[in-house]
Amino acid sequence: MGILSGIVNAVSSPLGFVKEAIGLAGNLLGTKEEKQKFELNLLTLTQKRDSEIEETIRAEMQAKERVLVAELNQGDNYTKRARPTVVYAGLGIVFLNHIVLPWIAAFAQIEVPLIEVPPIFWTGWSGIVITWSIGRSAEKMGSKKKIVSAITGNNK
Residue 120's pLDDT is what?
92
Q: Is residue 12 over pLDDT 60?
A: no
Contact present, 14 and 46 (Cβ < 8 Å): yes
Angle at 17 between CA 14 and CA 23, to 5 degrees: 145
Q: Where are the domains of the chain?
A: 1-64, 74-156
pLDDT above 90 covers what percent of the chain?
Answer: 17
Tell me the C-alpha to C-alpha distance, in Å, between residue 40 and each of 4, 17, 44, 98. 25, 14, 6, 59
| Torsion of Cα atoms, 118 then 121 then 126 then 132, to 10° | -160
Q: Please measure the distance between the N-terminal and C-terminal CA atoms of the chain and give it in whole angstroms.
A: 62
Q: Is residue 3 over pLDDT 60?
A: no
Residue 5's pLDDT is what?
54
Distance CA 68, CA 127 (A): 14
Q: What is the pTM (predicted TM-score) of this model?
A: 0.41
Tell me the C-alpha to C-alpha distance, in Å, between residue 16 and each of 7, 9, 33, 47. 9, 5, 22, 14
Give the mean pLDDT of the chain. Answer: 77
Residue 1's pLDDT is what?
47
